Amino acid sequence: MAPGRRRVRGGGRPRGDGVDRIGGLPDDLLHTILHRVRSSPDAVRTSVLSRRWRRVWAQVPDLSFDHDVDRVRSSSILRGIDAVVGAHSAPTLDRIAISVRRNAGDPTPALVAPWLRLASLRLAGGELKIRLGEPRTLYTYDDDGEIIDIPPPELEVPVCEGATGIELELPLHLRLAPTGSFAALRVLSIECNHLDDGDLERAVSMQCPRLQELALSTSSVPDHPVSIRSDSLEQLKLGGRVADGQITVDAPKLIRLEMSRSRWYLDLDEVKGARIAAPELSELIWQGVYHSHRDQIAETRSHLRKLELPLELDSNYILYQSFMVKKVSALLKRFDYVDELSMDIEIPPRAATDTVRLLSARHAYSCPLHLSMSPFIFVSLFMCIYVGVES
């Protein structure tokens, strides 16, 4: 052995000096490191490293939870999330994201309200996302076996001035704060059991001056006509039972509209109708029944850049023809030109050759056509077509 050197036990490599060099970094730098983890449970686990790390996670300006659990574990997961949120002490937050996928049990307003209050007080220039399961109709049975609807619990969503994006997926009856402003809000997505119609109209037209994207879906039909009026809105998506109700949209800057009615074979007499006033509309996605008289796409340009028609049609050939004519023909006749027509169609293979023929319109269309046919056929066609079937 060379003079001046000694053998070190444990593999011959010199050991460290025992100094926690990462723990010795400034708090701001440690917060930045944990912020990049984007997982609050993982950040909390660092508290076991040493006494120095015990409360570092609580100052990270990010609360992020993403769980995929079954019903048995959902209540304990929600209690754990609530404990972490309650112990968090950062003065400002740039993100609150709580997602319990697949099965979150039955989250209560008492559980969610403090999370919303925290966002209202501390969120600054960031996003709020709370997803605790898809909304569903609640019901029970009376003594005679008749179904009785159970009103979902109510939860008020407070004003969150610092949020730039809000996404709520909650099986609850939501109410939006009657006063205040969502001053920075640009993206709003709500999926719930019920949302008071007046709350939505007031929030969009008066409390969200910068709103650019709105998505709304409910599991119950609105009690009153829904009115959406906005000078800033550029994208609108309406789904679920809210799309089955009476709707008025007045949005001079709207570029993209997606309408997804809850049932494909909704009786035409059940369609309450939508009136759309959007002079800049260039992209339209229409899923479900289109009523040529009650649905009015007025004050809209006659030239669309893109038209998407997702169709799920019965394997019965007659039903296929009937709904194809009612759904596609009436909507196509509303526009003189469509640059791109996209259709996902479930049809019997023998009906494939009739698909183009049934795209009947009084005007000539020259556009790319993308057809996806299942279950046995997949066809992707890019071609110029002219349809001139007698109307």
**pLDDT at res. 34:** 77
Q: How far is the C-alpha of 356 from the C-alpha of 359, rounded, in Å? A: 5
Give the model confidence (pLDDT) of 276-315 as tens digits: 999 999 999 988 778 778 888 887 888 899 998 876 554 4
For 95, the token pair is 């993100």
Element housing 201 (H / E): helix 197-202
Q: In Å, how far are 21, 182, 285, 311, 322 from 344, measured between CA atoms?
A: 57, 37, 11, 6, 17
352 pLDDT more than 90: no
Q: In Å, how far are 135, 160, 175, 214, 286 from 200, measured between CA atoms?
A: 18, 15, 9, 11, 22
128 pLDDT more than 50: yes
Q: How far is the C-alpha of 316 from the C-alpha of 151, rounded, in Å? A: 38
Q: Judge contact between 345 and 355, C-beta under 8 A.
A: yes
Dihedral angle at the C-alpha atoms of 287, 288, 289, 293, nearest 10 degrees? -30
80 pLDDT more than 80: yes
Q: How far is the C-alpha of 6 from the C-alpha of 4, rounded, in Å? A: 7
DSSP-derived 3-state class of residue 40: helix
388 vs 160, more confident: 160
DSSP-derived 3-state class of residue 366: coil
**pLDDT at res. 3:** 56
For 130, the token pair is 């709370």
For 267, the token pair is 């009786």
Average pLDDT on 169-187 reads 93
Residue 323 phi, psi dihedral angles, 5° rounding: -75, -30
Average pLDDT on 72-78 reads 72
User: Of 152-166, 257-271, 314-328, 352-366, which range is least confident?
Assistant: 352-366
Q: Return the number of other C-beta atoms located less than 10 Å from residue 97's C-beta.
A: 19
Element housing 287 (H / E): strand 283-287
183 pLDDT more than 90: yes
Give the model confidence (pLDDT) of 19-30 as tens digits: 666 667 777 777
Q: pTM for this structure?
A: 0.78
User: Of 109-118, 208-217, 282-291, which range is least confident?
Assistant: 282-291
188 pLDDT more than 80: yes
Helix 109-122 vs helix 71-87: crossing angle, to nearest 10 = 30
- Binned at pLDDT 50, 70 and 90, residue 105 comes out as low
Print the SS3 string covering 211-277.
CCEEEEEECCCCCCCEEEECCCCCEEEEEEHHHHCCEEEECCCCCEEEEEECCCCCCHHHCCCEEEE
Q: Judge contact between 286 and 331, C-beta under 8 A.
A: yes
344 pLDDT more than 60: yes
For 237, the token pair is 């998506």
